[in-house]
Amino acid sequence: MNVKRLEGLPLFKDLSRHDREQVARWADEVDVEAGYHLLDQGRFPHEFFVIEEGTVEVRKDGELLSTLGPGDFLGEIAILEHERRTASVVAVTRVRAVVMHSRDFEAMSAEMPAVAETLRTAVRERLGR
């Protein structure tokens, strides 16, 4: 993963270069076509995503909850709460995203308190809907 690409993502912009380099070692990039399911409601969590380009829809029980785009992240609730996925996420357009597997996501959360707090805040907001 290219460290420079992480600088443009709000979740990582306040990290030091050293911390962004560590995130880059934990992360990969994926490109998916429109219609691809990044997450499926009810499945066990394995990945966390940060959207670089493109748009996705978040649906719960088939109902549209939100549309997310560049800079938004998804997949954190199930990993942090150790639960099954609470919603499905489908690419509306072609999407490029940073992806991190749960083991690396958990390491990032433990080693980078600012990122962890941003993620916990998002979980509280999203579960409050």
Per the domain annotation, does 9 fall within a domain? no
Alpha carbons 121 and 108: distance in angstroms, whole number? 16
Per the domain annotation, does 40 fall within a domain? yes
Confidence of residue 117 (pLDDT cuts 50, 70, 90): confident
- What stretches of the chain adopt beta strand conformation (E)? 28-32, 37-39, 47-53, 56-60, 63-68, 73-74, 88-91, 95-101
Per the domain annotation, does 4 fall within a domain? no
pLDDT at residue 129 in the model: 55
71 contacts 9 by C-beta, under 8 angstroms? yes
How do residues 67-76 score in pLDDT, each as one tens digit? Answer: 999 999 998 8
Average of pLDDT values for 17-40? 94
Output phi, psi for 5, to 5 deg: -65, -30
Residues 39, 53, 125: CA angle, nearest 5 degrees: 55
pLDDT at residue 118 in the model: 81
* Domains identified in the chain, total number: 1
Tokens linked to 45: 């969590």
Instruction: Note down the domain range covering 41.
Output: 27-127
pLDDT at residue 93 in the model: 98
CB atoms within 10 A of CB 122: 17
- Name residue, tokens 């916990």: 120
How do residues 5-25 score in pLDDT, each as one tens digit? Answer: 898 898 888 888 998 999 999
- Name residue, tokens 């029980």: 61
How do residues 48-73 score in pLDDT, each as one tens digit? Answer: 999 999 999 999 999 999 999 999 99
Per the domain annotation, does 113 fall within a domain? yes
Using CB atoms within 10 Å of the CB of residue 66, give its burial: 0 to 12 exposed, 13 to 18 middle, 19+ buried: middle
DSSP SS3 for 29 = strand
Q: What is the domain-level CATH number for residue 36?
A: 2.60.120.10
